[in-house]
Amino acid sequence: MKDKKIKCIDCHKDFIFTESEQQFFEEKGYDAPKRCKSCRSKKKEYKRK
Ligand SMILES: [Zn+2]
């Protein structure tokens, strides 16, 4: 596996989906993320409230 470049659907910036992250997501059976880390953490913050 190689690092992947993904465009964030929220801020439209490219971010790197690293090899180790890809392995982690695959283990968990998750789909590839559509958002960069900062947007994902923002979303989590928002959900928590
Ligand atoms: Zn983003």
Give yes or no for a contact between 33 and 25, defined as CB atoms under 8 angstroms apart.
Answer: yes
Which is more confidently placed, 28 or 42? 28
- State residue 3's pLDDT score: 96
- State residue 24's pLDDT score: 96
38 alpha carbon – ligand 1 mean position (Å): 6
Residue 2 and residue 21: Cα distance in Å, rounded?
10
| pLDDT above 90: percentage of residues in the chain | 80
Number of domains the chain is built from: 1
Instruction: Fill in the amino acid letter for 7.
Output: K
| pLDDT tens-digit series, residues 30-49 | 999 999 999 999 877 766 65
Max alpha carbon distance in the chain (Å)?
36
- The domain of 29 spans 4-48
17 alpha carbon – ligand 1 mean position (Å): 12
